[in-house]
Amino acid sequence: MKKFVLTAAAAAVTLSLGLGTAHAAEAIKAPSKSWSFSGVFGTYDQAQLQRGYQVYKEVCSSCHGMDLIAFRNLADLGYNEDELKALAAEYEVTDGPDDDGEMFDRTARLSDYFPSPFPNAKAAAASNGGAIPPDLSLVAKARVGGPDYLYALLTGYEEDVSADVLQSIYETETHKREVQYAADLEAYSVKKAKYDEAVKTDSSLKEPKMPEDPGPVESVEDLGLPDTSSFNAYFPGYGIAMAAPLADESVEYSDGTPATLSNHAADVSAFMMWAAEPSMDQRKQMGIKVILFLLVFTGILYAAKRKCWSDVH
Amino acid sequence: MSEHLKTNNAVIKWIDHRLPVFSMMNETMIDYPAPKNLNYWWNFGSLAGLALVVMIVTGIVLAMQYTAHVDYAFNSVERIMRDVNGGWLVRYIHMNMASFFFIAVFIHMFRGLYYGSYKAPREILWMLGVVILLLMMATAFMGYVLPWGQMSFWGATVITNLFSAFPLIGESIVTWLWGGFSVDNPTLNRFFALHYLLPFVIVGVVAVHLWALHRFGSNNPLGIEAKGPQDKIPFHPYYTVKDAFGVGVFLLAFSGFLFFAPNFMGHPDNYIPANPLVTPAHIVPEWYFLPFYAILRSIPDKLMGVLAMFASIGILFILPWLDRSPVRSAKFRPVYKWFFWLFFANCLLLGWVGQEAAEGLPLLLGRLATAYYFIHFLVILPLLGVMERPKPLPVSISEPVLKGGGALAGAAAKPMEKA
C-alpha cells in the first residue's frame, strides 16, 4: 500500500505542477467570494437566481444579449409554467415567414430564446461607442475567476472600490512605470551614444528624444484612460467601455432583499453562472454519488487484490 | 494452442476449434505469464487503454450531435451541454478524459524511462509507443479545434502556421492544410474528419504495441528477464485485479475533476465563440502541449524552433540506441537515477515555462531547459552508458524476493506482501 500511495502522490504532483493557472493580463485578481453554489455541496439559490434574472432583465438586457437562454430554461429558477408564460409574453419576437411570405411579430413563447437587444454586431457597436457588449450566456465561464470576477467587476468602479484597492493599483502602476522608464532611459543612452558617434559624419541625423519621466500614479486620472472608458479596478487595463451599470436601488426586489449594489451584483453574477452552467446542481449531486460508489468499489477491489496476491512470494 | 483452453462448454470448444478466438483471448489476457514483481507504475498502460476506449465511446456519441460548420459548431456544442439528455456529462467526460489520457500516457512513458523498458529486445515496442503519442497529440490538437471557441481558432492558426517555417514549400503546405487561405470552414471540416479517424488508427497501433509487448512480456522493476516459471504469474487473476483496483483509483481522481472542476484544465477563452478579428491576449495550448510549446518558443528562429519541437519527440525514437547501458532498471544505476529525476524536473519546468509569456525569466529558463532536454539524451545518456558503474544485478526475480536480497528487493516485493 505504501508503494501505491507513493505512486498516487507522485501522479498528483505531476498533475498539479503540470497545470497551474495561466497568468491574467494586468488588473488585480478578483477576490474569491462565498457563493451558495461554492464547494462540493453548493447549489444554486433559486431566490437569488430570480433576483439576478430581474437585474439582468431590468438593467443588463438593454445592451447585453443572452442568445443561448430560452424562456423555458427559466423553469430552473423555480417559476411554474404560468409564470414562465407570463414572463415570455412580455416580449415580442419576429417570426415567419407566414403563408403570404411576410415576417410578423408575435408575443414570445416558452420555446423562444431571449431576444437580442441589437439586430447585429454593427448596430451594437454603433450604439455603444464602438464597443460591442458581449453576450452574457457563457460569460461566467469565459472569464478567469468566473462569478468572482463578474461580482468584482460590477462593484469595481472608482466610487465603489475601497481606498486600499485603489492604493494598491497606484503602487503597482507606479512601479511598472518606473521599470519601463528605467528601460527607456537605458535604451535612450545606447541610442544617444550611437547618435553622438554617427552625427560626426552625418549631420542630417535626428537626435533621439529623451524619454520623459511619467511620474508616479496618484489618482485614476494619472492612469491616462481614454475618455470613452470608465475606470474599473478589475477590468484588464482598468479602462472599461461600460459605465457603472448598477448602483444602490437600481432594481426594486419584491422579496424584501435590500436593494444594495452588492446584492444586485452578487445576484446577477449568480444568475450568469447559472446561465453558463445550468447543469451544475445535477452534476455535483451525481458526482457525490459516483464518488461514494467508487470509494466502496475501489475498497472492495483493494481487498480482492490483497486476498488474491496473498499467495504470491 | 487450444489444448490450453480449459472449458467444458461444447459451443466454445466448437467455435474455438474453427476460430481460435477464445484460445487467443486466453493466451493474451488470462494465462499470459507476467513477471510477479510489477509495481503500481505498471498500471498506467491499462489505464491509458481504458482512457482510449472512453474517448472513442464518448466521442462517437458526441459526433451524433455535433455540427462541423463554423457558423454552428460553437452553438452545437452548447446545445449538447444544455438540451441533449446527459450531453453535459458526455461532453465533460470527453474533455477531461483527454487530459487524463495524457496523464496516464506521460506517467507510462516516464515509467519506461526509469526502468529502461525501451532497451533490447523491446525497442520496437517503445517506438510504437512514441507513434501512439504523436497520433494522440494530433488527435487532441484537432479535437480542441472542434468547439470553435477563441482558443480553438487561434490555437489552430498558430500551430498550422508553424509549417510556414519550412523554406520554399512552407506557405503551400499551410494553404493545403487549411484548405484555403486562413483557418476556416474547410479546416474545421477536415479536422473533424481526421479527429474521428485517428483514434481508430491509434487502436490499430495499440494492437501492434500489445503484439510487440507479448513477444517478450513486460519489463519489470528489476529490469532483468524472468528466468523461469517461478518468476512469473498468470495475468489473470493477479494483474486483472490489480489493474481493476488501479482503474478504481484513476476514476476517483477523474471524477473529482469531472464533477467538481470540469473546466479546470480548459481555458476560459474557449467559451467565447471564435472571432478571426480579435486575437486573445495570450494564446496557450492545452496543458499537455506546454513543454513542447516551451521548446518551440525557446528558439529565436522559427524554423529551428519547429524542428526542435518535433525533434523533442523524434529523439525518443532513437533513445534505445542513445542509452548504451546494459542495465535496464534505474534501481541498479546509481547515477542515471539522479539524472532521471533531473530530466523529470526539467520537463515540469518546461511545462511551467510554456504557459508563461515568452520574455524575461521564463524565456531564459525555457532556453536552458530546452538545451538540457537535448543534452540529457545526446550527451548524458551516451556518456553514462560508458562511465556509470551499475550495482550488481540480482540473479533472478524470485531470488531477492525469497531470500530477502536487501532493501531494493524488499521494495520490489512490497506490493505483494500482506500489509
The whole-number pLDDT of residue B158 equals: 94
What are the percentages of helix, strand and coil residues in chain A, rounded to 5? 50, 5, 45
Q: Is the pLDDT of residue B407 over 70?
A: no
Query: Contact B264/A19, CB-based, under 8 Å?
Result: yes
Active site residue B243: yes
Pick the closest to residue B69 from B263, B274, B244, B221 (CA basis).
B274
Query: Contact A19/B82, CB-based, under 8 Å?
Result: no
**Cα dihedral value B112, B116, B117, B123, nearest 10:** 120
Q: Which residues of A touch B348 (CB under 8 A)?
A: 14, 17-18
Instruction: Give the position of cell 500500500.
Output: A1
**Cα dihedral value A120, A122, A128, A133, nearest 10:** 50
**What percentage of residues in chain B have a pLDDT greater than 90?**
89
Q: Taking residues B235-262, what's their average pLDDT?
A: 97
The whole-number pLDDT of residue B357 equals: 87
B249/chain A closest Cα distance in angstroms:
7
Query: Contact B352/A17, CB-based, under 8 Å?
Result: yes
The whole-number pLDDT of residue A9 equals: 53
A89, A49 in Cβ contact below 8 A?
A: no
The whole-number pLDDT of residue A205 equals: 83
d(CA B13, CA B6): 9
Exactly one of B16, B243, B269, B356 is catalytic; which is it?
B243
Q: Which residues of B touch A290 (CB under 8 A)?
A: 255, 259
The whole-number pLDDT of residue B406 equals: 46
d(CA B65, CA B87): 9
A294/chain B closest Cα distance in angstroms:
6
Question: Residues near B90 by Cβ (< 8 Å), separated by ≥ 6?
Answer: B58, B61, B62, B80, B84
State the pLDDT confidence band at B411, using cuts at 50, 70 and 90: very low
Query: Contact B82/A290, CB-based, under 8 Å?
Result: no
The whole-number pLDDT of residue A227 equals: 87
Nearest Cα residue in chain A from B234:
A312
The whole-number pLDDT of residue A25 equals: 44
Instruction: Give the position of cell 558617434.
Output: A197
| Strand, helix or coil for residue A25 | coil
ipTM of the complex as predicted: 0.90
Query: Contact A68/B265, CB-based, under 8 Å?
Result: no
Query: Contact A3/B414, CB-based, under 8 Å?
Result: yes
Active site residue B214: yes
- Identify any residues that bridge with A107 across adjacent strands, giving them in sequence order: A92
Nearest Cα residue in chain A from B36:
A312
Q: Which residues of B touch A283 (CB under 8 A)?
A: 88-89, 92, 259, 262
A7/chain B closest Cα distance in angstroms:
7
d(CA B182, CA B180): 6
Q: Which residues of B touch A23 (CB under 8 A)?
A: 282, 355-357
The whole-number pLDDT of residue B170 equals: 94
The whole-number pLDDT of residue B36 equals: 94
Nearest Cα residue in chain A from B286:
A19
Of A25, A142, A306, the CB nearest to B281: A25
The whole-number pLDDT of residue B250 equals: 98
Q: Is the pLDDT of residue A22 over 60?
A: no
d(CA B144, CA A68): 21
Name the H helices within B122-184: 123-145, 150-161, 170-178
d(CA B324, CA B344): 20
Q: For every residue of A70-91, which 3-state class applies, written as one string?
A: EHHHHHHHCCCHHHHHHHHHCC
Nearest Cα residue in chain A from B87:
A279
* Phi and psi torsions of A157, nearest 5°: -80, 165
Active site residue B286: yes
Per-residue pLDDT of B316-329, as tens digits, reads 999 999 999 999 99
Q: Which residues of A touch B82 (CB under 8 A)?
A: 68, 73, 278-279
End-to-end CA distance of chain B, in Å? 39
- Identify any residues that bridge with A94 across adjacent strands, giving them in sequence order: A105
State the pLDDT confidence band at B125, using cuts at 50, 70 and 90: very high
d(CA A297, CA B106): 26
d(CA B388, CA B401): 26
DSSP string, A118-155: SSSHHHHHHHTTTPPPPP-SSTTTSSTTHHHHHHHHHT
pTM exceeding 0.95? no
Q: Is B229 on the interface with A (CB under 8 A)?
A: no
Q: Is B208 on the interface with A (CB under 8 A)?
A: no
d(CA A268, CA A261): 11
Q: From the DSSP assignment, how many helices (H) and strands (E) are in chain A?
A: 8, 4
The whole-number pLDDT of residue A253 equals: 96
DSSP string, B78-120: HHHHHTSTTHHHHHHHHHHHHHHHHHHHHHHHHHHHHTTTTST
Per-residue pLDDT of B29-40, as tens digits, reads 999 999 999 999
CB atoms within 10 A of CB B71: 11
The whole-number pLDDT of residue B118 equals: 97
The whole-number pLDDT of residue B413 equals: 42
Q: Taking residues B19-25, what's their average pLDDT?
A: 93
End-to-end CA distance of chain A, in Å? 16
Nearest Cα residue in chain B from A67:
B75
Nearest Cα residue in chain B from A146:
B268
The whole-number pLDDT of residue B3 equals: 54
Q: Is B40 on the interface with A (CB under 8 A)?
A: yes
Of A73, A236, A298, the CB nearest to B248: A298
Give the DSSP H or E segment for B57.
helix B44-63
Name the average pLDDT for chain A. 90
CB pairs under 8 A between A and B: 137
Q: Is B84 on the interface with A (CB under 8 A)?
A: no
Name the average pLDDT for chain B. 93
Instruction: Give the position of cell 506490493.
Output: B415
* Phi and psi torsions of A205, nearest 5°: -65, 150
The three grid cell numbers given for residue A265, joined into one nine-digit string: 451584483
B30/chain A closest Cα distance in angstroms:
15
Query: Contact B255/A308, CB-based, under 8 Å?
Result: no
CB atoms within 10 A of CB B120: 11
Per-residue pLDDT of B31-77, as tens digits, reads 999 999 999 999 999 999 999 999 999 999 999 999 999 999 999 99
Residues 287-346 of B with CB under 8 A from A: 287-288, 290
d(CA B100, CA B139): 14
Q: Is the pLDDT of residue B410 over 50?
A: no
Q: Which residues of A touch B356 (CB under 8 A)?
A: 23
Pick the closest to residue B276 from B138, B371, B143, B184 (CA basis).
B184
Residues 238-277 of B with CB under 8 A from A: 238, 241-242, 244-245, 248-249, 251-253, 255-256, 258-260, 262-265, 267-269, 271-272
Residue of A215 and B81 predicted with greater confidence = B81
Q: Taking residues A88-96, what's their average pLDDT?
A: 93
| Strand, helix or coil for residue B222 | coil
Of B248, B272, B348, the CB nearest to A297: B248
Q: Is the pLDDT of residue A30 over 50?
A: yes
